């Protein structure tokens, strides 16, 4: 009994002499790991549907001064575009997001736009558009990826394979050509974790759309060119993360 009391007294004296040691014995330090507020990088698949409007600066084409066409030398006519074309696009793609706001993807879209006009001829466009795109995503509400409202801006470069046809008093033949293409994007997105839904604007620029060397011989109208084309889109997109 005397030994037990002596040991207890010695322990009490040691704890009183060293408050830090006493605190460490009573409240041991617990190491808490840091909280990861975001997700790491992810590949994703995407699908888009859009309504669009096609506008251009001018249309150029050959016009025969005589009837029947082919008697006289064709003249080159340049007219301002006075009527926009309207249509839709549908697309798909695959991309990668880094988890810190940057992402990139490859997309391919099918565009169908009808009836851009210079007051004489109406032109229809069917186009396959391939773009490489980069974006910056930023949060509006919520933290990091997963469950929150955000915004994005982006840009893309690529090419388009265009198929055009025309209607008018002496319409040119249908034709196909390739052209360079660029795009700018901006919109709002809602992050659901495994999926992201967004609604945004995309502006597509093509320097020239043409039927190419479709038919140079009369009586056809021959090649025609539509310069400085801008296609404005309101587009909805769903992205699915491959986690």
24 pLDDT above the threshold of 60: no
Pick the CATH number of 42-242 from 2.40.160.20, 3.20.20.70, 3.40.1120.10, 3.40.30.10: 2.40.160.20
Confidence (pTM): 0.78
- pLDDT per residue as tens digits for the range 141-190: 865 555 789 999 999 999 999 999 988 877 777 888 999 999 999 999 99
**Contact call for residues 44 and 96 (beta carbons, < 8 A):** yes
State mean pLDDT over 79-97.
Answer: 96
Q: Is 27 helix (H, G, I), strand (E, B) or coil?
A: coil
Q: Report the distance separating Cα 188 and Cα 139, nearest Å.
A: 10
Higher pLDDT, 1 or 35: 1
What's the pLDDT score for residue 215?
47
Q: Report the distance separating Cα 122 and Cα 118, nearest Å.
A: 7
DSSP H or E segment with residue 174: none
**Contact call for residues 125 and 145 (beta carbons, < 8 A):** no
Cα–chain center distance at 208: 21
Length, in residues, of the chain: 243
Which tokens go with 147? 């469950």
State mean pLDDT over 87-108.
Answer: 96
- pLDDT per residue as tens digits for the range 146-156: 578 999 999 99
């Amino acid at each position: 009994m005397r030994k037990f009391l002596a040991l207890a007294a010695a322990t009490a004296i040691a704890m009183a002499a060293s408050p830090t040691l006493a605190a460490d014995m009573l409240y041991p330090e617990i190491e808490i790991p840091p909280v990861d507020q975001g997700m790491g990088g992810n590949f994703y698949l995407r699908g888009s549907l859009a309504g669009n409007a096609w506008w251009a600066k001018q249309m150029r084409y050959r016009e025969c001064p005589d009837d029947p066409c082919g008697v006289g030398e064709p003249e080159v006519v340049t007219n301002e575009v006075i009527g926009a074309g309207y249509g839709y696009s549908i697309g798909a793609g695959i991309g990668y997001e880094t988890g810190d706001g940057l992402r990139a993807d490859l997309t391919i879209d099918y565009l169908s736009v009808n009836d851009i006009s210079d007051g004489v001829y109406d032109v229809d466009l069917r186009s396959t558009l391939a773009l490489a795109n980069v974006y910056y995503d930023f949060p509006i509400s919520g933290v990091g990826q997963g469950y929150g409202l955000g915004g994005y801006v982006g840009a893309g470069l690529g090419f388009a394979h265009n198929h055009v046809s025309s209607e008018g008093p002496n319409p040119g033949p249908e034709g196909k050509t390739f052209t360079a293409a660029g795009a700018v994007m901006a919109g709002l997105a809602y992050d659901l974790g495994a999926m992201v839904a967004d609604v945004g604007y995309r502006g597509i620029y093509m320097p020239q759309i043409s039927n190419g060397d479709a038919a140079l011989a009369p009586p056809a109208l021959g090649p025609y060119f539509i310069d400085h084309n801008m296609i404005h889109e309101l587009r909805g997109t769903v992205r699915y993360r491959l986690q």
